Amino acid sequence: MMDNNRRVVVTGLGVVSPLGVTVPRMWQALICGQSGVGYISSFDTAPFVTKFAAEVKDFDIGIYIGRKQARYMDRFTQFAVAASLQAVQDAGLAINAANNEEVGVIIGNSVCGLLTVSEQIEVLRKMGPGRISPILAPTMTGDAPSVQVSLTLGARGPNYSPSSACSSGSDAIGQAYETIRQGNARAMVAGGTEAPIMPLVLAAFEAIRALSTKNDSPTAACRPFDAERDGFVLGEGAAVMVLEDAAYALERGAPILAEIVGYAATCDAFHLTQPSPDGEGAARAVRLALKRANLGPGEVDHINAHGTATLLNDRTETAVIKHVFGDRAKHIPTSAAKSMLGHLLGAAGAIEAVITVLAMRHGVLPPTINLNHPDPECDLDYVPNQARQVKIRTAVKNSFGFGGHNSVLVFQQHG
């Protein structure tokens, strides 16, 4: 039975990002307003309209695990394992026979192991079914990251991989939070991972005209809330948090970085790709998350926006914030990390949740870069182009995905 007095805290963070493969490197780049977007190097973009993305650079899985083990993992799984090992180390969490049944793993994603699938389709086409890799099945599946993380860590608690499009990472963290509150684990390793920079995914998003085409200036291409925005920029990477029952964290002297105090998920039930124009589903998710946190709109100091830089999403999210926060909306600093990181799809909510915690810890809001010509319909305080020092007690993280998924997390300073 759920214990409503059980508190859940964040004790460790790990990332693999286009701005660095550790938390400190990414954070420093973010507060300096650097862009991780550039021309795609992993395949020939000649047939494509969009030539750029936010790729992870200098990633070496051999730093974290053996090469033999890594061969059993698609790139999106390798990202998840690396970020999880970072987060567990950051938390100082030793997983052993004394606690491994009380430590779980939830890692969300959206497009699964398509790099491996794409390679094996070519093998099938050219050489026939007898040459397909015997490890294809467990490598390509959506649960591969959570499975491999549990194998690497020895975590034997609840384990699965939610897939709710661009809300997947936030839902993984939210569900891990609920798992601990319900008493089904003492600690959870939770986040999101994605490795979608490949021809098939690029073509898929080009086909629905969702991507920016500003090939002349990739670093300026992702422009959330700007009047000249023309679509999102594809990104890759992973982010993971260690969540713990607060009593357990205090008992073992863990570093407490923040507390999760609310989570809600809703669905628009409106369209496969477009948000509901009235924003009702997203606004309901924000209100529910605040209600469950026993907080009012007047107590929120910062919003980490979904901020995709698509025409409809940015206007809808702006309207949602106005609906929920009323007159205060224009006075709540709201930043969009995708302007620098690109859109990590199923990992976006997780990496932005990590950034939200870092902003609270450091008292600094990363900017929304490339915001030079504000859309008149997007008229909130988006922390344009320069980081800002702000004391943050309570922060909201929005995630809105294709299919009408709306997921909202509420973080607070612990104390």
Instruction: Report how far Cα 153 is from the mean position of its chain's Cα atoms.
Output: 21
Residue identified by tokens 């809808």 is 316
Residue 393 pLDDT > 50: yes
Residue 408 pLDDT > 90: yes
Going by pLDDT thresholds of 50, 70 and 90, the confidence category of residue 272 is confident
Residue 154 pLDDT > 90: yes
Helix axis angle, 199-207 to 114-127, nearest 10°: 110
Instruction: Determine phi and psi for 267, rounding to 5 degrees.
Output: -135, 140
Helix (H, G, I), strand (E, B) or coil at 194: strand
Angstrom distance (rounded) from CA 255 to CA 261: 17
Going by pLDDT thresholds of 50, 70 and 90, the confidence category of residue 404 is confident
Angstrom distance (rounded) from CA 337 to CA 343: 9
Q: For the chain, give every domain's residue range.
A: 8-251, 263-412
What is the pLDDT at residue 240?
Answer: 98
Instruction: Report how far Cα 241 is from the mean position of its chain's Cα atoms.
Output: 11
Q: Residue 365 is inside which H or E element, if any?
A: strand 364-365
Residue identified by tokens 């995630």 is 399
**Nearest alpha-carbon partner for 351 in 383, 307, 316, 314:** 307
What is the pLDDT at residue 402?
Answer: 84
Q: Quick check: 330 and 361 in contact, CB under 8 A? A: no
Between the CA of residue 96 and those of 93, 99, 231, 409, what are the distances in Å?
A: 10, 6, 46, 30
What is the pLDDT at residue 275?
Answer: 80
Burial class (CB within 10 angstroms; exposed 0-12, middle 13-18, buried 19+) of 288: middle
One-character DSSP codes across 236-263:
-EEEEEEEEEHHHHHHTT----EEEEEE
Residue-wise pLDDT for 347-388, tens only, equals: 999 999 999 999 999 999 999 999 999 999 999 999 999 999
Residue 2 pLDDT > 50: no
Residue 307 pLDDT > 50: yes
Residue 56 pLDDT > 70: yes
CB atoms within 10 A of CB 315: 17
Residue 87 pLDDT > 70: yes
What is the pLDDT at residue 1?
Answer: 40
Q: Quick check: 101 and 157 in contact, CB under 8 A? A: yes
Q: Quick check: 408 and 396 in contact, CB under 8 A? A: yes
Residue-wise pLDDT for 217-248, tens only, equals: 999 999 999 999 999 999 999 999 999 999 99
Share of the chain above pLDDT 70, in %: 99
Mean pLDDT of the chain: 95
What is the pLDDT at residue 4?
Answer: 55
Angstrom distance (rounded) from CA 358 to CA 242: 14
CATH number of 8-251: 3.40.47.10
Give me the active site residues, please. 166, 306, 343
What is the pLDDT at residue 276?
Answer: 80
Burial class (CB within 10 angstroms; exposed 0-12, middle 13-18, buried 19+) of 103: buried
Q: Quick check: 165 and 103 in contact, CB under 8 A? A: no
Token pair listed for 345 = 């799809």
Residue 48 pLDDT > 50: yes
One-character DSSP codes across 63-132:
GTS-HHHHTTS-HHHHHHHHHHHHHHHHHT----TTTGGGEEEEEE-SS-SHHHHHHHHHHHHHH-GGGS
Amino acid at 219: T
CATH number of 263-412: 3.40.47.10
Angstrom distance (rounded) from CA 131 to CA 114: 18
Instruction: Determine phi and psi for 89, rounding to 5 degrees.
Output: -65, -40
HSE-up of residue 214 (Cα within 13 Å, Cβ side): 19
Please give the average per-residue pLDDT across 331-346, as a whole number.
98
Residue-wise pLDDT for 20-39, tens only, equals: 999 999 999 999 999 999 99
Which alpha helices (DSSP H) does 233-342 contain, by range? Answer: 246-251, 280-292, 311-325, 338-341
Residues in the chain, how many? 415
CB atoms within 10 A of CB 273: 13
Residue-wise pLDDT for 111-146, tens only, equals: 988 999 999 999 999 999 999 899 899 899 999 999
Instruction: Report how far Cα 296 is from the mean position of its chain's Cα atoms.
Output: 25
Going by pLDDT thresholds of 50, 70 and 90, the confidence category of residue 273 is confident
